[in-house]
């Protein structure tokens, strides 16, 4: 089974974290949550879900993991401001392993300099951010560009999870 890193900060969308997290774990994948401060408990924007951050970006090596997942909500806006998270995202992307992001989740890809000339989906309110970064934004439930998987919103979670699972060992 695969080892997945999941980036998460305060303000995540409850379902965009819990659904992929549970789905990946229920089929046997190891999912580790990382952010800026290990041990910190981060809470979803509605406040119904929370999770303890298990490790920080600066201590992990991309080669040790099979996929990177970035949940949506307001969390990615905080993740994109952390140099360690951005650097890990950039280093992970060049491994050629799957990077999956939903809703606002692709935002760290802009900061990491990997959105340019990529096909992406996201929540519509950040469309202009992606267009300005040189990405080809698409209003589709799932957009796949090489090893990049992107979705728009919670309604897309079923296909989002299936696309992630289909790319894992």
Region of 146 on the Ramachandran plot (φ > 0 left; ψ -120 to 50 alpha; else beta): left
Q: What's the N-to-C CA distance of the chain in angstroms? A: 6
CA distances from 28 to 2, 19, 24, 45, 117 (A): 8, 14, 7, 28, 34
35 carries an active-site annotation: no
Closest of 126, 121, 127 to residue 141, by C-alpha: 121
Active-site choice (8, 79, 102, 103) = 103
Which residue, chain included where needed, has tokens 């774990």? 25
The three-class DSSP label of residue 75 is: helix
- List the catalytic residues: 103
């Amino acid at each position: 089974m695969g080892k997945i890193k999941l980036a998460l900060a305060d303000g995540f969308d409850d379902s965009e974290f819990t659904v992929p997290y549970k789905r990946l774990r229920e089929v046997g994948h190891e999912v580790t949550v990382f952010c800026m401060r290990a041990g910190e408990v981060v809470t979803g924007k509605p406040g119904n879900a929370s999770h303890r951050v298990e490790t920080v970006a600066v201590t992990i090596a991309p080669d040790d993991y099979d996929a990177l997942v970035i949940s949506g909500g307001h969390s990615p806006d905080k993740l994109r401001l952390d140099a360690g998270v951005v650097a890990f995202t950039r280093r992970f992307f060049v491994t050629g392993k799957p990077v999956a992001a939903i809703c606002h989740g692709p935002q760290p890809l802009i900061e990491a300099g990997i959105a340019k000339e990529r096909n992406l989906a996201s929540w519509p309110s950040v469309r202009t951010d992606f267009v300005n970064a040189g990405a080809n934004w698409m209003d589709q439930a799932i957009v796949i560009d090489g090893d990049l998987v992107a979705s728009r919103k919670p309604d897309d979670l079923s296909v989002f999870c299936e696309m992630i699972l289909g790319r894992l060992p």
